[in-house]
């Protein structure tokens, strides 16, 4: 580490997609996050896990350059938040969340939901797109298993189909980092399993961008994810390699209950003891 303007900046900053040092977010009297030190490297796939209100979405908003820390320093894709044009930075980040879902016009065609990401708009605004863009959108729709829905309007899709459309959209710009906020929320068992399988394929693809996935449920962790950060009440419980972090003891600490974590193959399951 070398200090720059009293801030410790790691020497390998160029290899880090996220670097948070001493980060806190405060709203009124509430500490949404406190003392967060966290780094994500280019080839890592992180799951951020914790109970309701732990600060997961707040952390993801920092990573998405949609919020600034109150204290500490956040670097995203090598740029320091507060000293960078966030609109430009956001074009390098794929981000899916319930908020993005709510902004999509229901009459929008699925193909256009995906393709319009390249133009940073919601709602198709051009009569024609480049052939390259059209091809890329078709490829992503196929990867996510929704090519047959390309001409359907977004409002007619099931929850699972919408989630997959949003992931395809967030990959359209070939982002350097993919942020997924509770992608499996609201899905039935089949929908969840299908999404977990698609995300696992992405996670195992060496050409895919760095990924950070927020969830409450260990069952939703796709095989291929490499690291985990456990949060509770705005603070880190523990973080590191997924096999070291995901233990009954750590999970019990994060969720404030006596939990038993079990593995079956490359999946995780948890229940109260
Ligand atoms: N603008 C705000 N003012 C005050 N408190 C806030 C504000 N935004 C969020 N909070 C609180 O901060 C805490 C962390 O919120 P956050 O959405 O990051 O948690 P989370 O871990 O994503 O929760 P969930 O799993 O329920 O989605 C919550 O207690 C929330 O009520």
Interface predicted TM-score (ipTM) of this complex, two decimals: 0.95
Ligand 1 mean position, distance from CA 178 (Å): 21
Those residues whose C-beta lies under 8 Å from the C-beta of residue 110, and which sit 6 or more positions away, are: 141, 146, 149, 150, 151, 152, 153, 154, 157, 165
Protein residue whose Cα sits closest to atom 11 of ligand 1: 32
- Confidence (pLDDT) at 100: 83
Helix, strand or coil for residue 133?
helix
Residue 8 has pLDDT above 80, yes or no: no
Summarised one tens digit per residue, pLDDT across range 72-130 is 999 999 999 999 999 889 889 999 888 888 889 999 999 999 998 866 555 555 556 67
* Among 23, 55, 237, residue to substitute to test ligand 1 (most atoms within 8 Å of Cβ): 55
β-pair type (93-96, 177-181)? parallel
Residue 2 has pLDDT above 50, yes or no: no
Question: What ligand 1 atom has the least distance to the C-alpha of 55?
Answer: 18
Of these ranges, 46-50, 113-117, 173-177, 187-191, the one predicted with the greatest mean pLDDT is 46-50
Give the global pTM: 0.90
- Confidence (pLDDT) at 124: 53
Biggest alpha carbon–alpha carbon distance for the chain: 58
Rounded to an integer, the average pLDDT of 144-157 is 94
- Confidence (pLDDT) at 4: 47
- Confidence (pLDDT) at 238: 97
- Confidence (pLDDT) at 76: 96
Protein residue whose Cα sits closest to atom 13 of ligand 1: 53
What is the percent of the chain where pLDDT is above 90? 70
Q: Quick one: 11 exposed, middle or buried, by C-beta within 10 A (0-12, 13-18, 19+)?
A: exposed
Higher pLDDT, 172 or 4: 172
Ligand 1 mean position, distance from CA 55 (Å): 6
Radius of gyration of the chain (CA): 19
Q: Which two tokens stand for residue 239?
A: 């973080």
Residue 48 has pLDDT above 70, yes or no: yes
Q: Kindly list the protein residues whose Cβ atom lies closer than 6 A to any atom of ligand 1.
A: 27-28, 30, 32, 50, 52-58, 216
Higher pLDDT, 34 or 119: 34
- Confidence (pLDDT) at 41: 95
Ligand 1 mean position, distance from CA 58 (Å): 7
Question: What ligand 1 atom has the least distance to the C-alpha of 51?
Answer: 25
Give Cα separations from 5 to 2, 57, 166, 220 (angstroms): 10, 29, 39, 41
Ligand 1 mean position, distance from CA 48 (Å): 14
Ligand 1 mean position, distance from CA 33 (Å): 9
- Confidence (pLDDT) at 191: 85
Average predicted confidence (pLDDT) for the chain = 90
CB 231 within 8 Å of CB 254: yes
């Amino acid at each position: 580490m070398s200090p720059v303007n009293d801030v410790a900046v790691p020497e390998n900053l160029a290899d880090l997609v996220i670097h948070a040092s001493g980060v806190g977010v405060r709203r009124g009297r509430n500490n949404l996050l406190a003392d967060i030190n966290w780094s994500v490297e280019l080839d890592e796939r992180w799951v951020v896990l914790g109970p309701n209100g732990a600060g997961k979405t707040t952390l993801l908003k920092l990573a998405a350059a949609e919020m600034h820390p109150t204290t500490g320093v956040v670097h995203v894709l090598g740029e320091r938040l507060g000293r960078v044009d966030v609109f430009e930075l956001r074009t390098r980040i794929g981000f899916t969340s319930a908020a993005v879902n709510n902004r999509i016009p229901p009459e929008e065609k699925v193909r256009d939901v995906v393709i319009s990401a390249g133009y940073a708009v919601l709602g198709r605004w051009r009569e024609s797109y480049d052939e390259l863009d059209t091809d890329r959108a078709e490829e992503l729709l196929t990867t996510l298993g929704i090519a047959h829905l390309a001409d359907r309007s977004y409002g007619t899709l099931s929850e699972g189909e919408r989630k997959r459309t949003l992931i395809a959209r967030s990959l359209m710009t070939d982002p350097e980092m993919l942020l997924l906020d509770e992608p499996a929320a609201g899905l039935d068992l089949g929908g969840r399993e299908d999404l977990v399988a698609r995300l696992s394929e992405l996670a195992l693809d060496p050409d895919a961008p760095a990924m950070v996935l927020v969830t409450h449920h260990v069952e939703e962790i796709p095989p291929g994810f490499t690291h985990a950060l456990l949060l509770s009440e705005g603070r880190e419980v523990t973080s590191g390699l997924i096999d070291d972090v995901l233990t009954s003891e750590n999970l019990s600490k994060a969720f404030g209950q006596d939990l038993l974590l079990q593995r079956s193959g490359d999946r995780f399951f948890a229940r109260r003891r």
